Chain A
Amino acid sequence: MRITLHIWRQKGPHDAGRLVTYEVPDASPEMSFLEMLDVLNERLTAKGEEPVAFDHDCREGICGTCGVVINGIPHGPRAATTTCQLHMRSFRDGDHLTCEPWRARAFPVIRDLAVDRSAFDRIVEAGGFIGVNTGSAPDGNSIPIPKKTADLSMDAAACIGCGACVAACPNASAMLFVAAKISHLGLLPQGQPERFDRAAKMVARMDGEGFGNCTNTRECEAACPKEIGVEFIARMNRDFLRAGVADRPEKATAGGA
């Protein structure tokens, strides 16, 4: 199949960037989208041109490293699919594909299609963990957790942190990511002690990173390769508002021995 690519080329964070057109006249429907880019890059390298930089690692849809906005849709047209799991059979012979990086102030472009998503790491560092030593594995069922709760927590924990939610949001908001991270811990007993503090801290960090504000358009939900729903954003809003209204301020005086 013949594919015409319009790829965003940007030499570095301060370059303005532009779309450059490339032809791949012999793409196979069995190729993954990234393999098709590999073929293009081999040819560019052979011609002495700079290959297209793009993020990838596991190529099996579990690490969250890959991500290209294809014709205006993060991770391309297939639902619940990362860019690395997208195959050329999802397109038609003769298609024109515009390939752009995730676009957000908080995700600066490193080069071409590769962006810096360390803002997500800093949000997790702000509270996306359980701050006690968990010790060795507990006995099975020693902490009872209803199946429904475990499932819901697992749905949130499916987030691979790819950032497609930010890329899809008309406001470049990171609420779905942060909501998923807050929820998968906040739903479980081990996450309870820090539940409201966690929500407050992670949201504050998110705001500080320069992400936009959610306007409930639900574009994030449609783009999420792990099908995480905006229900978790509502849950985060509840936790955050409760933290803001009802949490006791920390005592200013130092206590303890």
Chain B
Amino acid sequence: MGGTSTCWVRQLFLSSIGKKSVMAVTGLVLFGFVVGHLVGNLQVFIPDDGKKLNAYAAFLKANAGVLWGARIVLLAALLAHVGIAILLALENRGARPVAYRVKTYREASYAARTMIISGPLILLYVVYHLLHFTWGTVHPSFNHDDVYHNVITGFQQPAASAVYIVAMALLGLHLFHGLWSMCQSLGVNHPKYNALLRAGSAAVASAITIGYIAIPVAVMAKLLK
């Protein structure tokens, strides 16, 4: 921006496009975590009674520096993502003070129109998930050193499994719009690969939902014991 250099950062990040790009970049960081976490979790399917999974958990704990570094980056990304989402939602509400009596949507997907609902619900779920599997506060038989045991006994409760399944469906919905939207906000839109971007967003969002849901489903179906 021409003009005063002292507050260019503020000017950039408080502009409409700046806020969009912060949503996109923090969304990308959180998406990276969602992918990494899924890959780690899927080790539960290795048929060795959880040895690999527990070893992986112990490995993470042993590297406290990296673990806490990642946690701090994720927490910062989460706070920025949520904070700016609230700001955007308030501004957008203010931008149309009188609502339409009749409103017909033609392009906006259900996912796009419900980001502001799926987002807070996922946040609530994250709190529950931490209480359940990280701190063990709401877990029936939590053992700090046996992740495999925690997963199996945790998901043997149908109510807990149901929460996870619904939350992962919401995450898929959020990513279905979020992934494509992230590209668009950062200016990645080109006729050569637009179809791929849209199809790719849908495919990746579905794969993540299915991957995560597979774990409680497998436990409840007694495929994992």
Binding site for B on A (CB under 8 A): 6, 8, 17, 19, 69, 71-73, 98, 100, 103-106, 168, 170-173, 175, 197, 200, 203-204, 206-207, 210-219, 221-223, 230-231, 233-238, 240-241, 243-245, 247, 249-250
Instruction: Enumerate chain A residues within 8 angstroms of B181, measured Cβ to Cβ.
Output: 215-216
Indicate if the CB atoms of B100 and A249 lie closer than 8 Å.
Answer: no
Indicate if the CB atoms of B20 and A231 lie closer than 8 Å.
Answer: no
Indicate if the CB atoms of A210 and B95 lie closer than 8 Å.
Answer: yes
Indicate if the CB atoms of B95 and A237 lie closer than 8 Å.
Answer: no
Smallest beta-carbon distance A191→chain B, Å: 17
Name the residue on A nearest B188 (C-beta): A234
Indicate if the CB atoms of A103 and B104 lie closer than 8 Å.
Answer: no
Among B11-19, B124-132, B157-165, B167-175, the stretch in contact with A: B11-19
Contact partner of B12 among A17, A223, A245, CB < 8 A?
A: A245
Q: How far is the CA of A184 from the CA of B165 in the complex (A)?
A: 47
Within 8 A of A (CB), among B98-150: 98-109, 112-113, 115
User: Does B180 make an interface contact (CB < 8 A)?
Assistant: yes
Smallest beta-carbon distance A108→chain B, Å: 10
Per-position binary interface string of chain B over residues 167-208, scored 1 when its CB falls under 8 Å from any chain A CB and 0 otherwise: 000000000010011001111111100100000000000000
Instruction: Enumerate chain B residues within 8 angstroms of A223, measured Cβ to Cβ.
Output: 106
Instruction: Enumerate chain B residues within 8 angstroms of A168, measured Cβ to Cβ.
Output: 106
Among B1-9, B47-55, B75-83, the stretch in contact with A: B1-9
Smallest beta-carbon distance B185→chain A, Å: 6
Instruction: Enumerate chain B residues within 8 angstroms of A236, measured Cβ to Cβ.
Output: 17
Instruction: Enumerate chain A residues within 8 angstroms of B186, measured Cβ to Cβ.
Output: 237, 241
Q: How far is the CA of A168 from the CA of B103 in the complex (A)?
A: 9
Q: How far is the CA of A222 from the CA of B211 in the complex (A)?
A: 34
Instruction: Enumerate chain A residues within 8 angstroms of B94, measured Cβ to Cβ.
Output: 105, 210, 212
Main secondary structure of the interface of B (DSSP, over half): loop
Indicate if the CB atoms of A247 and B96 lie closer than 8 Å.
Answer: no
* Residue among A175, A219, A238, A247 with most chain B CB within 10 A: A219
Indicate if the CB atoms of A250 and B17 lie closer than 8 Å.
Answer: no
The verdict on A105 contacting B189 (CB below 8 Å), with A217-B107, A240-B15, A241-B21 known, is no
Indicate if the CB atoms of A237 and B185 lie closer than 8 Å.
Answer: yes
Instruction: Enumerate chain A residues within 8 angstroms of B107, measured Cβ to Cβ.
Output: 217-219, 221-222
Contact partner of B1 among A106, A237, A238, A244, CB < 8 A?
A: A244
Indicate if the CB atoms of B96 and A103 lie closer than 8 Å.
Answer: yes
Q: How far is the CA of A231 from the CA of B192 in the complex (A)?
A: 12
Indicate if the CB atoms of A19 and B16 lie closer than 8 Å.
Answer: no
Instruction: Enumerate chain B residues within 8 angstroms of A171, measured Cβ to Cβ.
Output: 92, 95-96
Q: How far is the CA of A207 from the CA of B87 in the complex (A)?
A: 14
Q: How far is the CA of A6 from the CA of B17 in the complex (A)?
A: 37
List 10 other contacts, CB 8 Å, given A207-B15, A213-B91: A73-B104, A172-B92, A197-B2, A213-B92, A217-B109, A219-B107, A222-B106, A231-B190, A241-B18, A249-B3
